[in-house]
Amino acid sequence: MDVISLLFLLLLAALGWFWFDSLRALEIARNAGKRACDDANVQFLDDTVAGIAFALVRDKSGRRMLRRTYRFEFSETGNTRLEGQLIVLGDRIESVTMEPYQMMP
């Protein structure tokens, strides 16, 4: 096997790992968005999150990890669409923020 073929296989393996890791992080973010909306007693709209950014950062122990940022939409009444944001560092939720909304009685 020549060097070009080996590099191509390594690149293909890296892309496969990134794709599967992104799917896992997307599922973690979707579940966290649903949980945040359930805890806030609002509707999690479209049952999905959308990736808006990712970066290579260091965690608290100094290891390099991917930080992915996702957005989701929610509604307190069903008539409005408000935005929330999730940050996933590796395989854990770093933060969840939600746009201010009015609590209905």
Cα 80 from Cα 78, distance rounded (Å): 6
**Is pLDDT of 1 > 90?**
no
Q: Residue 21 is which amino acid?
A: D
- The pLDDT tens digits for 4-31 are 999 999 999 999 999 999 999 999 999 9
List Cα–Cα distances, 57 to 8, 9, 101, 103, in angstroms: 26, 26, 32, 36
* Residue range 28-51, pLDDT digits in tens: 999 999 999 999 999 999 999 999
pTM, two decimals, is: 0.85
Best CA proximity match to 87, nearest among 97, 77, 101: 97
